[in-house]
């Protein structure tokens, strides 16, 4: 489940029309959501509030043996209209599951953002700032996010921690999203790591499609999207590098059958090959599998995961008498569940019978996450880390 | 002096060493590049032993050793390690970084673990090794400098020069740490494990000093094979009834009792300011202290200072520490006067005690034999024949004091050796110490200088008859003197130190005691008969101390509540002595 601050960040992305799915980094987002979910440890409590549309605070207290916590503040220059109350937050927006990709969105024209007043330009670039202090350790996290242009975004994330070399690290990331393709350049002060990432979407270019709108009817609708990307890293100080290639095919909403996503990533340097296949088998069910193989060391592993959504059955007992009286034959229709989600169960298992379970939902006015790890191979301690996390926001 | 280093048994069994090495390697947090346990698969110490050059021996005894070596090794030992390493540098890099500011690569950081086997061979070591061995504390080995000169690292990645160089560099660094930090710890544990039965025994006995001489302290342990005054064996039922509570007899002292006695003596000590100092009289407080010092081996600072260091200072100008062992060895060579050699060993112990008591109990621990400076030591040795003269002063003093200084001690001897006269004789060596010490407590110097000097001539006469029978024994036990002489350092164990705090008449010291007991045991059989015949009245005199002890016990019972009574007991003491 997304934390409150992540949720607000997503709201900022939405408000600034930034497509987080159109990035090489999120190529395997579906598989990661279904297979690599984090299970909470211990007891954790988050209290958050979006006091004004531009300012948010969040406090967290947790205990895993010893008590720790964090304080975080967020400022956004763009007023965020997303509802922040934990009673009103849509679970689909905070629970990360199968990512059903939408059609590519045409990037905003830069002049759309211009705002003139009295012959002078008054618009400002939207900025989000976020800071988080972990209390016992004194670790400080900071994030600076700036929409430089409709197709460009700057992201600076910093961590200050005495345990780190040089006392901290800064990561700068410039992202360009042109819809059809996306490029990212990053630099990390730690060991001078430079990186470049790119993603190219095959198929119609959304920018051109937007221009000749009238010809849209002539073409047959696109059912899927094929994307290819690559990343390359090089650490200047430690003179080491890394690279990977990735392919993805995913169905679009126009697809008639089950939505599914297939990815294939390859690390040519390390000989690692990873393929995932995820399918949304029903409205409430998604399945995913992943197979890793290393053709240098012949190591392989296999993981399976699923998520099951539980929808609320509408509680219309108060109007049932009226229905029964007026339209008795409507009984079937009224029993069908609504779109409101009451909870999601996620499970994963790998070839070593390590099982991860996660139950996310809403309890009273709080969002909760309950999870644990089970290792069937270890007889002496089958149940591993178990945790509960509560989130309350207003 | 010769040392015998046996290399071959070390080669034989390396499994345990392998296990411990494996444990040690996996204990410390490993660098992220190592993703599996490090397993030592092969360990061979090779057939060529390291060359050791002895630079200095600081302490030498049967159960202890302390020395500095120069070590050089060019042998054929090798060591094979097996582990798995993370071959992706990006993976290891990211695993140590906070995820918040990590670039979160999609697949570039995927892991590739590679089994790695590393063979370390062609060790070239040279360095200075400080080796400290003690039977209770095990073996401590410290490298004074970085001993690793070079080694050859061969691994799975030898074909890749970059990796090979990297591994060579890393492993050399790790080995330096291993030699400087881990290896001493491993060896220490290994030695402790080897000596663990001894170690446990030690802890049970609480009297490490006596262990060195292979004797049993009757005061700390129930008598091993208890016998009564007539020499009849006692069974345990009788033993149980024998405690200090019964005034008549006590053949055994339990640990608890000895602690009580110590407390009593101490209380008397604290009140001794109010007791008048009477010349020629031994107070019970002093006597108790002397006895306790003898039993526990702890030396009282005040007494030893006065009694011992004075003797030494007057008679010999050599430093306190250096001659002690050299004397012992030299006296062994002076076969002409075995009796004195025995005395000199006592003396060396005394000197030791004196030197030590001058500082804190713990401080003066080592006597340095610098092998390089043999000649200079020889210069000092000529004095040794003189020094024995001083120590014997104690022995004859006893003959004077025999009637006065009857204490509990004869009783223990009875129990132990079944030969009262000799035991008395042996213990009487402490007589002068008591005598000199009592006055010296108030003001040490004036009485002090007088005391030893007049006695010295007597020494020459007296011990000879007794020791004439000893001479062969002395020769045989000459080695045993080393442990006994060294035992003072062991003695500093806190438990005892706590009990017996300050002033115990320490002329004897443990050295003396340990040696005495050894000697007495052997002499007892031979001398017992004639002595018993000649000194039969002493048996009668041996009784009174028992009663006194009973009084002391009674006092002691009340001691916790009121100290006055202990004082009272002290005041009662003189009459008892007279009796």
Percent of chain B whose pLDDT exceeds 90: 0
What are the structure tokens assigned to B436, written together? Answer: 């000199």
Most confident of A83-92, A185-194, B75-84, B481-490: A185-194
* Neighboring chain A residues of B109 at a CB cutoff of 8 Å: 242
Please identify which residue in the block is written with the tokens 């906070």: B98
Q: Which residues contact B272 (CB under 8 A, 6 or more apart)?
A: B283, B285, B441, B570
Residues of chain B positioned with their CB less than 8 A from the CB of A235 = 89-90, 93
Residue A238 pLDDT class (50, 70, 90 cuts):
confident
Distance to chain A for B182, nearest Cα, Å: 25
| Cβ within 8 Å of residue A349, ≥6 positions away | A303, A304, A305, A355, A356
What would the mean pLDDT of A199-228 be, rounded to a whole number?
76
What does the block give as tokens for B494? 């806190």
Decide if A272 and B112 are in contact by the 8 Å CB cutoff.
Answer: yes
Residue B214 gets the label, from left (phi > 0), alpha (psi -120 to 50) or beta, of: left
B110 touching chain A per CB within 8 A: yes
Q: Is B31 on the interface with A (CB under 8 A)?
A: no
What is the arithmetic mean of pLDDT over A120-143? 90
**pLDDT digits 0-9 by tens, B442-451:** 443 443 434 4
Share the mean pLDDT of chain B.
59
Highest-pLDDT range among A123-137, B298-312, B377-391: A123-137
- The verdict on a CB contact (< 8 Å) between B106 and A186 is no
Q: Which residues from B are below 8 Å from A271, CB to CB?
A: 112
Q: Which of A41-45, B283-287, B340-344, B476-480 has the highest mean pLDDT?
A: A41-45
Distance of CA B60 to the CA centre of its chain: 11
Phi and psi dihedrals of B561, rounded to 5? -80, -50
| Token output for B287 | 């006597």
Q: Which helix (H) or strand (E) holds A137?
A: none
Token pair 């006194």: residue: B548
**By mean pLDDT, which of A49-53, B78-82, B166-170, B305-309 is the weakest?**
B305-309
Give me the DSSP letters along A13-43. HHHTT--TTSSGGGTTHHHHHHHSPPPP-EE
> Residue A33 phi/psi, 5° resolution?
-65, -35
Mean pLDDT lowest among A172-181, B285-294, B335-344, B520-529: B335-344
Judged by phi (left if over 0) then psi (alpha if -120 to 50, else beta), residue B226 lies in beta
Asked whether A260 and A250 are in contact (CB, 8 A), the reply is yes
Element (H, E) at A266: strand A260-267
Q: What is the pLDDT of residues B527-545, one digit of tens each?
A: 777 666 665 554 444 444 4
DSSP per residue, B26-78: HHSPPPTTB-S--EEEEEE--SSPPEEEEEEEEEE-SSEEEEEEEEEE----E
B88: nearest CB among A139, A195, A270: A270
Give yes or no for a contact between B197 and B275, defined as CB atoms under 8 angstroms apart.
no
Residue pLDDT, tens place only, A334-384: 556 667 788 899 999 999 899 999 999 988 888 999 999 998 888 888 888
- Per residue in B240-263, pLDDT (tens digit) is 444 444 444 444 556 667 776 776
- Chain A touched by B87 (CB under 8 Å): yes
Q: Are the beta carbons of B100 and A159 separated by less than 8 Å?
A: yes
Per-residue pLDDT, B43: 84
Residue A367's DSSP bridge partners are A362, A391
Residue A279 dihedral angles phi and psi, to the nearest 5°:
-135, 140
Q: Residue A236, Cα to own-chain centre: how many angstroms?
A: 30
B106 to chain A: closest CA residue: A25
Contact B505, B440 (CB under 8 A): no
Q: What phi and psi values does residue B410 have, to the nearest 5 degrees?
A: -50, -35
Check: CB of residue B17 under 8 Å from CB of residue B43.
yes
Closest Cβ opposite residue A242 in set B88, B102, B104: B88
Using a CB-CB cut-off of 8 Å, the residues of chain A touching B100 are 141, 143, 157, 159
Residue B231 and residue B246: Cα distance in Å, rounded?
19
Catalogue the E-assigned strands of B112-221: 113-134, 138-143, 148-155
Which of B447, B413, B455 minimizes the C-alpha distance to B431?
B455
B35, B88, B99, B105, best to mutate vs chain A, most A CBs in 10 Å: B105
Choose among B98, B106, B113: nearest Cβ to A244: B106
Write out the DSSP string of B540-552.
HHHHHHHHHHHHH
Q: Which residues on neighbouring strands pair with residue A145, listed in sequence order?
A: A128, A155
The SS3 assignment for B117 reads: strand
Taking contacts as CB-CB distances below 8 angstroms, the residues of chain B near A269 are 88, 108
User: A271: phi > 0 → left, psi -120 to 50 → alpha, else beta; which?
Assistant: left
Q: What is the reported pLDDT for B230?
A: 53
Top-confidence residue, B514 or B107: B107
> Nearest CA to CA, how far is A171 from chain B (Å)?
6
Helix, strand, or coil (residue A303) = strand
Neighboring chain B residues of A169 at a CB cutoff of 8 Å: 97-98, 101
B112 touches chain A (CB under 8 A): yes
- Sketch out chain B's domains with CATH numbers: 8-91+109-198 (3.15.10), 218-578 (no CATH)
CA distance A302 to chain B (A): 15
Does A141 score more than 90 pLDDT? Answer: yes
Query: Coil, strand, or helix at residue B246?
Result: coil
Residue that the structure tokens 């003695």 belong to:
B491
Interface test with B, best of A190, A234, A248 (most B CBs within 10 A): A190
Query: What is the interface pTM, i.e. ipTM, of the complex?
Result: 0.79
Q: Report residue A196 CA to chain centroid gap.
A: 21
Compute φ and ψ for B532, nearest 5 degrees: -60, -40
Domains, chain A, ordered by start: 4-104+121-393 (2.40.160.10)
pLDDT at residue A5 is higher than 80: yes
pLDDT tens, position by position, A63-109:
887 899 999 999 999 898 888 888 888 888 888 889 888 888 888 88
Whether B103 sits inside 8 A of A28 (CB atoms) is no
Say if residues B52 and B7 touch (Cβ distance below 8 Å). Answer: no
Give pLDDT tens digits for B480-528. 444 444 444 444 444 443 444 444 444 446 666 777 777 777 777 777 7
The span from the CA of A306 to the CA of A349, in Å, is: 9
Contacts of A151 (CB under 8 A, 6+ apart): A107, A176, A177, A178
Question: Phi and psi at residue A161, in whole multiples of 5°?
Answer: -150, 130
- pLDDT at A230 exceeding the cut of 80: yes
CA distance A26 to A231: 12
Q: Residue B14 — pLDDT band, cuts 50, 70, 90?
A: confident
Q: Which residues of A touch B102 (CB under 8 A)?
A: 171, 188
Distance from CA of A270 to the nearest CA of B (A): 6
Distances (CA, A) of B160 to A238, A298, B89, B157: 18, 20, 16, 6
**Tell me, what's the pLDDT at A392?**
93
Q: Find out whether A247 and A264 touch, Cβ atoms under 8 Å.
A: yes
pLDDT digits (tens, 9 = 90+) for B123-136: 888 888 888 888 77
CB contact under 8 A, A25 and B109: no
For residue B284, the model assigns a pLDDT of 60
Q: Which of B101, B104, B107 sits opposite A272 (nearest CB)?
A: B107
| B97 to A169: CB separation less than 8 angstroms, yes or no | yes
The Cα B371–Cα A130 span in angstroms is 72
Q: Which of B321, B266, B306 is nearest to B485 (CA)?
A: B321
Residue B363 pLDDT more than 60? no
């Amino acid at each position: 489940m997304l934390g409150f601050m992540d949720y607000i960040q997503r709201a900022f992305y939405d408000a600034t029309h930034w497509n987080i799915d159109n990035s090489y980094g999120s190529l395997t987002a579906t598989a990661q959501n279904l297979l690599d979910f984090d299970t909470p440890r211990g007891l954790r409590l988050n209290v958050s509030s979006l006091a004004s549309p531009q300012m948010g605070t969040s406090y967290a207290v947790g205990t895993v043996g010893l008590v720790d916590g964090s304080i975080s503040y967020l400022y956004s220059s763009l007023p965020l209209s997303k509802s922040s109350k934990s009673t009103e937050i849509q679970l689909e927006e905070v629970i990360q599951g199968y990512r059903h990709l939408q059609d590519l969105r045409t990037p905003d024209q830069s002049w759309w953002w211009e705002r003139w007043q009295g012959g002078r330009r008054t618009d400002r670039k939207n900025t989000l700032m976020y800071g988080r202090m972990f209390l016992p350790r004194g670790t400080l996290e900071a994030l600076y996010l700036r929409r430089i242009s409709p197709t460009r975004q700057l992201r600076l994330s910093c961590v200050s921690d005495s345990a780190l070399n040089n006392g901290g690290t800064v990561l700068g990331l410039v992202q360009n999203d042109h819809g059809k393709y996306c490029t990212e350049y990053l630099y990390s002060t730690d060991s001078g790591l430079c990186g470049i990432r790119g993603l190219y979407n095959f198929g119609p270019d959304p920018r051109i499609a937007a221009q000749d709108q009238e010809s849209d009817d002539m073409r047959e609708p696109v059912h899927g999207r094929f994307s290819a990307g690559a990343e390359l890293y090089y650490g200047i100080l430690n003179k080491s590098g890394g690279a990977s290639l990735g392919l993805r095919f995913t169905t679009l909403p126009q697809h008639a059958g089950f939505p599914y996503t297939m990815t294939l990533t390859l690390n040519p340097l390390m000989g690692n090959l990873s393929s995932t296949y995820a399918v949304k088998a029903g409205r409430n069910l998604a399945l995913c599998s992943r197979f890793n193989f290393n053709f240098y060391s012949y190591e392989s592993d296999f993981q399976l995961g699923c998520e099951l959504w539980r929808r609320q059955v509408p509680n219309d007992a108060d109007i049932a008498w009226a229905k029964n009286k007026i339209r008795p034959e409507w009984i079937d229709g009224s029993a069908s569940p609504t779109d409101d989600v009451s909870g999601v169960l996620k499970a994963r298992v790998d070839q070593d019978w390590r099982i991860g379970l996660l139950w996310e939902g809403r309890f009273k006015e709080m969002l909760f996450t309950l999870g644990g790890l089970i290792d069937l191979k270890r007889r002496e301690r089958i149940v591993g880390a178990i945790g509960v996390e509560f989130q309350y926001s207003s | 002096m010769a040392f015998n280093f046996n290399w071959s048994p070390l080669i034989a069994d390396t499994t345990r060493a392998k296990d411990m090495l494996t444990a040690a390697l996996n204990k410390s947090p490993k660098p992220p590049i190592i993703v599996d346990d490090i397993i030592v698969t092969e360990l061979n110490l090779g057939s060529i032993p390291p060359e050791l050059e002895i630079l200095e021996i600081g302490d030498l005894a049967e159960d202890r050793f302390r020395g500095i070596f120069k070590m050089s090794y060019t042998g054929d030992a090798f060591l094979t390690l097996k582990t798995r390493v993370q071959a992706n540098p990006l993976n290891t890099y990211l695993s140590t970084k906070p995820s918040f500011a990590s670039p979160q690569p999609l697949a570039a950081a995927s892991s590739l673990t590679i089994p790695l086997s590393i063979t370390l061979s062609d060790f070239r070591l040279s360095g200075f090794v400080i080796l400290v061995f003690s039977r209770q504390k095990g073996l401590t080995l410290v490298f004074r400098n970085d001993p690793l000169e070079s080694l050859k690292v061969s691994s799975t990645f030898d074909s890749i020069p970059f990796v090979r160089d990297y591994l060579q560099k890393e492993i050399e660094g790790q080995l330096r740490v291993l030699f400087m930090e881990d290896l001493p710890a491993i060896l220490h544990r290994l030695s402790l494990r080897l000596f663990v039965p001894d170690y446990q025994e030690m802890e049970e006995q609480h009297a490490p000093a006596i262990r060195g001489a292979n004797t049993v302290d009757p005061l700390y342990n129930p008598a091993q094979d208890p016998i009564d005054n007539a020499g009849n064996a006692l069974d345990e039922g009788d033993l149980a009834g024998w405690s200090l509570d019964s005034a008549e007899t006590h053949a055994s002292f339990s640990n608890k009792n000895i602690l009580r006695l110590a407390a009593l003596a101490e209380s008397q000590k604290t009140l001794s300011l109010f007791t008048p100092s009477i010349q020629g009289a031994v107070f019970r407080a002093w006597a108790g202290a002397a006895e306790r010092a003898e039993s526990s081996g702890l030396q009282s600072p005040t007494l030893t200072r006065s009694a011992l260091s004075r003797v030494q200072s007057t008679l010999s100008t050599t430093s306190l520490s250096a001659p002690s062992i050299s004397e012992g060895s030299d006296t062994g060579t002076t076969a002409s006067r075995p009796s004195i050699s025995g005395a000199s060993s006592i003396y060396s112990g005394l000197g030791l005690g004196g030197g030590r008591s001058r500082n804190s109990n713990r401080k003066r621990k080592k006597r340095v034999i610098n092998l390089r400076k043999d000649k200079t030591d020889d210069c000092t040795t000529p004095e040794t024949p003189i020094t024995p003269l001083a120590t014997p002063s104690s022995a004859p003093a006893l003959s004077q004091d025999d009637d006065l200084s009857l204490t509990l001690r004869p009783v223990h001897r009875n129990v132990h050796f079944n030969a009262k006269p000799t035991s008395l004789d042996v213990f009487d060596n402490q007589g002068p110490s008591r005598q000199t010490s009592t006055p010296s407590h108030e003001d040490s110097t004036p009485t002090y200088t007088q005391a030893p000097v007049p006695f010295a001539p007597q020494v020459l006469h007296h011990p000879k008859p007794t020791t004439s029978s000893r001479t062969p024994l002395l020769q045989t036990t000459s080695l045993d003197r080393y442990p006994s002489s060294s035992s003072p350092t062991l003695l500093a164990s806190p438990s005892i130190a706590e009990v017996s705090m300050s002033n115990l008449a320490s002329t004897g010291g443990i050295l003396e005691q340990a040696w005495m007991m050894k000697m007495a045991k052997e002499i007892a059989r031979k001398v017992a008969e004639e002595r018993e015949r000649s000194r039969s009245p002493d048996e009668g005199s041996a009784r009174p101390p028992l009663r006194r002890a009973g009084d002391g016990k009674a006092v002691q019972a009340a001691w916790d509540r009121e100290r006055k009574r202990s004082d009272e007991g002290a005041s009662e003491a003189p009459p008892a002595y007279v009796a």
